[in-house]
């Protein structure tokens, strides 16, 4: 692990997450509880004060984003996708998708993030749901996700630069034989022609973070 990531990991105090969030069931996925915040901007400002740094990334880990909710719902309703298989939850945020996979019998679940607070939240959320999810502070997108047999991603096509990195990663994972599943609520940079839709849901979201209170969210399979 690069030294800067080790430093970030050391700075991410689980007590801060417990203090600044509430453990509540996830709308549309009530089987799972997450440590979630009510106010994104307030938490963002509090995190920067806590770390004594400006310009930190938004606290994606403190909210259930539509793409991840849709993938989690799909996994919970289709356990055969992950049962007995090694799963990677990439850009995991809160770890919602990884928790869903663990609940449905995945052999092992790794949840990768580049935000140390997210990794701490993933571990707390896994514990709260009585499952094991290995949070990893690591950038895996230049690889192919091996040895995971299933690669799950929620809402990773919301920026052009991020999409440009994630699509080749997902294609490499699929090329080596992994099942690749992505959730997306209509983001601009999802190349729909590369994917096959397998489900669609009306997902309730935090209105302050989106342009509506409900987002039509599609679960896609690559290839």
**The pLDDT value given to residue 8:** 44
Predicted confidence at residue 212, as pLDDT, reads 83
Q: With 80 as the cut, is the pLDDT of residue 160 above it?
A: yes
pLDDT > 60? residue 202: yes
Mean pLDDT, residues 208-217 taken together: 84
Helix, strand, coil content of the chain in percent (nearest 5):
40, 25, 35
Q: Give the per-residue pLDDT at 55.
A: 63
215 contact partners, CB below 8 Å, separation of at least 6? 66, 185, 186, 202, 203, 205
CA atoms within 13 A on the CB side of 59: 26
Q: What are phi and psi of 5, to 5 degrees?
A: -70, -35
Least confident of 80-84, 141-145, 150-154, 209-213: 209-213
- Given a cut of 70, whether residue 5 has pLDDT beyond it is no
Say which residues have a Cβ less than 8 Å from residue 141's Cβ, sequence separation at least 6.
90, 165, 166, 169
Alpha-carbon span 152 to 96, nearest angstrom: 11
User: Which pLDDT does position 50 carry in this prediction?
Assistant: 73
Paired residues of 179 in beta bridges: 150
Q: Is the pTM of this model over 0.85?
A: yes
Fold of 3-222: Rossmann fold (3.40.50)
Is the omega angle on the peptide bond into residue 20 within 30 degrees of 0, that is, cis? no
Is residue 1 very low, low, confident or very high in pLDDT (cuts 50, 70, 90)?
A: very low
* Residue 142 φ then ψ, to 5°: -85, -5
């Amino acid at each position: 692990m690069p030294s800067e990531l080790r430093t970030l990991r050391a700075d991410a105090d689980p007590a801060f997450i417990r203090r600044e969030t509430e453990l509540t069931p996830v709308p549309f996925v009530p089987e799972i509880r997450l440590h979630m915040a009510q106010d994104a901007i307030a938490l963002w400002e509090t995190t920067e004060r806590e770390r004594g740094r400006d310009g930190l990334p938004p606290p994606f880990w403190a909210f259930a984003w539509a793409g991840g909710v849709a993938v989690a719902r799909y996994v919970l309703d289709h356990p055969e996708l992950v049962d007995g298989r090694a799963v990677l939850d990439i850009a995991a945020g809160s770890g919602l998708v990884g928790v869903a996979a663990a609940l449905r019998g995945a052999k092992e679940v790794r949840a990768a993030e580049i935000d140390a607070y997210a990794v701490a939240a993933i571990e707390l959320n896994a514990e709260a749901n009585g499952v094991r999810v290995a949070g990893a502070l690591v950038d895996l997108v230049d690889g192919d996700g091996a040895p995971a047999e299933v690669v799950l991603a929620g809402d990773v096509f919301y920026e052009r630069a991020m999409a440009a990195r994630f699509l080749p990663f997902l294609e490499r994972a699929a090329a080596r034989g992994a099942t690749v599943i992505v959730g997306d609520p209509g983001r601009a940079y999802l190349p729909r022609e590369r994917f096959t839709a397998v489900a669609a849901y009306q997902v309730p979201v935090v209105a302050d973070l989106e342009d509506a209170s409900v987002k039509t969210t599609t679960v896609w399979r690559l290839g």
